[in-house]
């Protein structure tokens, strides 16, 4: 999913659960407001924390790690989509970013 479509969905009636799979220091440097941090290396152990009845938008810096997270979640029966281009694309489009944890 491209950044513009993700922003529309996030601001819509049924927003996706925004899952950031980067490391804590990356997350603190800037993330999508409302995003939840679960680093990719913890995803398998923490998957039960995620909603099964809601779309999950996976985010990382460039889209590579979140692509892996998306495939993992889809294989486990979750409705997951990847933010193409990650935070680079999100910030490049001038969309809001929250700093801190």
Non-local (6+) Cβ contacts of 74 within 8 A are 80
Contact 28, 99 (CB under 8 A): yes
Domain assignment of residue 71, yes or no = yes
Domain assignment of residue 100, yes or no = no
Q: Which is the catalytic residue, given 21, 40, 60, 69?
A: 60
CA-nearest of 20, 15, 14 to 82 is 20
Domain assignment of residue 15, yes or no = yes
CATH code, 59: 3.40.250.10
60 is a catalytic site residue: yes
Domain assignment of residue 99, yes or no = no
pLDDT digits (tens, 9 = 90+) for 58-97: 999 999 999 999 999 999 999 999 999 999 999 999 999 9
Which range of residues forms the domain containing residue 18? 3-92
Domain assignment of residue 101, yes or no = no
φ, ψ (nearest 5 deg) of residue 80: -120, 145
What is the tally of structural domains in the chain?
1
pLDDT digits (tens, 9 = 90+) for 16-34: 999 999 999 999 999 999 9
């Amino acid at each position: 999913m491209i950044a513009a479509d993700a922003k529309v969905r996030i601001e819509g009636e049924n927003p996706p659960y925004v899952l950031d799979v980067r490391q804590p220091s990356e997350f603190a440097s800037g993330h999508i407001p409302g995003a939840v941090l679960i680093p990719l290396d913890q995803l398998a152990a923490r998957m039960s924390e995620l909603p099964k009845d809601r779309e999950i938008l996976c985010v990382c810096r460039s889209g590579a790690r979140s692509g892996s997270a998306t495939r993992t979640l889809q294989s486990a029966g979750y409705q997951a989509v990847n933010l193409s281009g990650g935070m680079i694309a999100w910030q490049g489009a001038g969309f809001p970013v929250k700093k801190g944890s």
